[in-house]
Every structure is written in structure tokens, then in C-alpha cells.
Amino acid sequence: MNPERLKMSAESLPIDISFLEKKRHEVDKLLDKYLPSAEAYPDRLHKAMRYSVLAGGKRVRPILAMTAYEAFGGNDPQIINPVACALEFVHTYSLIHDDLPCMDDDDLRRGQPTLHRRFDEATAVLAGDALHVLAFQMAARSGSTRVVQELAEAIGTYGMLGGQMADVEAEGKHNTLEQIQFIHTHKTGALIKASIRMGAILAGVDEGSLRKLSHYGEKIGLAFQIIDDLLDIQGEVRKMGKPSGSDCRNQKATYPGTVGLERARKDAGQLIDEAIMISREFNAKGEYFALIARFVGQREN
Ligand code: IPE
Ligand code: IPE
Ligand code: MG
Ligand code: MG
Ligand code: MG
């Protein structure tokens, strides 16, 4: 990634990612625990689910949920852990289906062959479906119908799936900034925002703080996908673990494709700065939200 991009943001200071590393390891262990055993029948399906989920990934969504839960006083791992994993199961399902030949037709994900390449298309469709269902099973463990509802809304037709449909329909066309913003806030932003909201709701957050957190989530959610588009153009495959140039090959509607590289970098930087400002309104509680926003702004994978 071109380091120039980071200079667009006033908040480009080096960050200490040890907190994120620690959380990521915690999440990895939990995912392993909640996934079905690779030996249990139908083992091919279970192996496929484990292959995609345990391949790695930044675990941004579970970390956001856990951070929000803890910031607002939540302290019961039995409640937050399955919900955090539900978010990663949904996210991984969306990646498996997104990589299929009928969608983005990609061969590499999280540093290894995509699921349909390593197994086959039928297994990839089923493993995605299975992770989708497992996610709701996990979310239900929280006992909060509000949280289950939040998840369903975020990934349904008015959320992630609506965004993915719009993304497919926008291929090969000229797209306005408004259309791109719709795609990005839905296909990616909705789940990121919901991750923070779900964690905070489980901790019993007040409605005023929840509104602020939602704004924070919207900012980092949109920035996350703008940066994903930028990385597809100028990221290093070795670091990203997925191909670059996929958007160009598929004539995808991207943010830099619509407004140009410079403006895309500037807008992402500004969204991150705004998210950091919102984090500061939470004083000490907001420290980790600011850290995560910086991490999103500086990520190279
Ligand atoms: C990639 O998501 C797809 C998008 C929604 C932009 P991530 O960048 O979070 O991918 P992993 O989970 O770290 O592999
Ligand atoms: C994916 O967006 C969004 C979802 C999977 C919901 P992209 O298609 O840009 O993600 P990558 O670049 O393949 O990770
Ligand atoms: Mg896609
Ligand atoms: Mg894709
Ligand atoms: Mg992409």
C-alpha cells in the first residue's frame, strides 16, 4: 500500500496492535471450539467449514463486538463469546459465496485456495449455508432476541445481501458516488456496524451511546470497504492473502473507480479521523475504538 495514503489522515501515528493480536488469538480458539468436529459425519462439510474459518483473517467483527461489550461493562464470556463467533461465521460464509465462480470467481482467500477450488462448488455453497445457520444458533445462545434481530437485519436483503446484489448488478456500469456508497455501506458496512451494536446491546448500553456507536460503525464500515478497494489496486498479494486486480478483471463498481485514487484515499482518511473523534467522546471507554479505527485505516491486508 502506498504510504502516501496514510498521510491523508491526521491520525496516522504508529499503533500498538498487541491488544488486537491478543483478541485475535482468543477468537481463533473460540471459533475452533464452536465449529463442528472435522471427524463428525458429514465430515466433508465439517472439514470445509473449518478450512475456511480457521484459515485466519483479522477477526475484526468479533473483536469489535467484544470491545463494545467490555467497554460498556459486559463481563460474561458465555454471552459474548458465541455472539462474537456468530459474526465471524457469517462473515466467512459471505466470503465463501463471494469467491464462487458465479460471483467474484477468485482462487485465493486468506492465503490459501478458495473453498470451491480446494473442495468443489457444491461443498462451498453448502459450507457457506452451514456457517450461516451456525451463526444464528450461536447468536441465539445469548438469549437476546434483539441481538438475533440485529444480526438478521444487518445481513438480510436490506443489509449485506442487498449490498451484494447491488454489487453484482453494478458490474460493468458507470456508477455514481451515491450508488457506490449504497453498495459499500450495505455489503460491508452493515455487518461491521451490527458487530459493535450487538456487543454494546448485550452489555446494556444506553440508547444515546448506542446511537454514537452506530455512527462510529458507519464510518469505519465505509472506510473498511474503500480501503479494500484500494488494496485490490495497490496491495501486496503476499500480505493480503487474496488476489489483487480482481475488481478490475470483473469490472466491479469500486470507490476509487468512481472518484479516483486520490479522493478515495482522502475520503477513507477522513472517515477514520471522524471515527476517532467519536471514540474520544467516550473518554477512556473509547480508547480501543480509536485503536481499531486507526488499525482499519492503516491495514495492509
Ligand atoms: C474482506 O473482509 C471482505 C470485505 C468485507 C471487505 P476482511 O478484510 O475482514 O477479511 P478477513 O476476515 O480479514 O479475511
Ligand atoms: C465482499 O466485498 C463483501 C462481502 C463478502 C459481503 P469484496 O468482493 O470486495 O471482498 P473481497 O475483496 O473479495 O475480500
Ligand atoms: Mg464481491
Ligand atoms: Mg470478492
Ligand atoms: Mg474487494
Residue bearing cell 463442528: 36
Q: In whole numbers, what is the pLDDT of the chain averaged over residues?
A: 95
Is 263 close to ligand 1, i.e. is its CB under 6 Å away?
no
Is 94 close to ligand 1, i.e. is its CB under 6 Å away?
no
Q: Find the mean pLDDT for residues 101-121.
A: 98
Other Cβ atoms closer than 10 A to 106: 20
What is the Å distance from ligand 4's center to 236 Cα?
16
Q: Which domains does the chain have, with CATH numbers?
A: 14-291 (1.10.600.10)
Ligand 2 first shell, C-beta below 6 A? 94-95, 98, 104, 160, 164, 187-188, 228, 232, 242
Is 225 close to ligand 1, i.e. is its CB under 6 Å away?
yes
Q: Find the mean pLDDT for residues 258-280.
A: 98
Give percent above pLDDT 90 in the chain: 94
Give, for ligand 2, the residue of 89, 92, 95, 155 to mutate: max count of ligand atoms closer than 8 Å to Cβ. 95
pTM across the whole model: 0.96
Q: How far apart are CA 215 and CA 60, in angstroms?
A: 17
How many Cα atoms occupy the beta-carbon half-sphere of 195 within 13 Å? 31
Q: Find the mean pLDDT for residues 159-177.
A: 98
Q: How far apart are CA 1 and CA 240, in angstroms?
A: 10
Is 242 close to ligand 1, i.e. is its CB under 6 Å away?
no
pLDDT value of position 14: 75
Give percent above pLDDT 70 in the chain: 96
Give the ligand with the smallest distance to the CA of 155.
Answer: 2
Give, for ligand 2, the residue of 228, 252, 254 to mutate: max count of ligand atoms closer than 8 Å to Cβ. 228
Residue bearing cell 481499531: 292
Q: What pLDDT, in 10s, does the model give residues 3-60? A: 444 444 545 667 888 999 999 999 999 999 999 999 999 999 999 999 999 999 999 9
Q: Find the mean pLDDT for residues 126-140.
A: 99
Helices 287-298 and 207-234 cross at an angle (nearest 10°) of 20
Give, for ligand 2, the residue of 88, 182, 188, 252 to mutate: max count of ligand atoms closer than 8 Å to Cβ. 188
pLDDT value of position 16: 84
pLDDT value of position 7: 42
pLDDT value of position 251: 97
Q: Find the mean pLDDT for residues 172-187.
A: 98
Confidence of residue 134 (pLDDT cuts 50, 70, 90): very high
Ligand 2 atom with the shortest distance to the CA of 94: 5
Task: Please say whether the beta carbons of 139 and 86 come within 8 A.
Answer: yes
What is the Å distance from ligand 4's center to 52 Cα?
15
Q: What pLDDT, in 10s, does the model give residues 70-94? A: 999 999 999 999 999 999 999 999 9
What is the Å distance from ligand 3's center to 43 Cα?
28
How is 207-263 classified by DSSP, letter by letter? HHHHHHHHHHHHHHHHHHHHHHHHHHHH--HHHHSS-SSHHHHTT---HHHHH-HHH
Give, for ligand 2, the residue of 60, 98, 100, 192 to mutate: max count of ligand atoms closer than 8 Å to Cβ. 98
pLDDT value at 140 more than 90 = yes
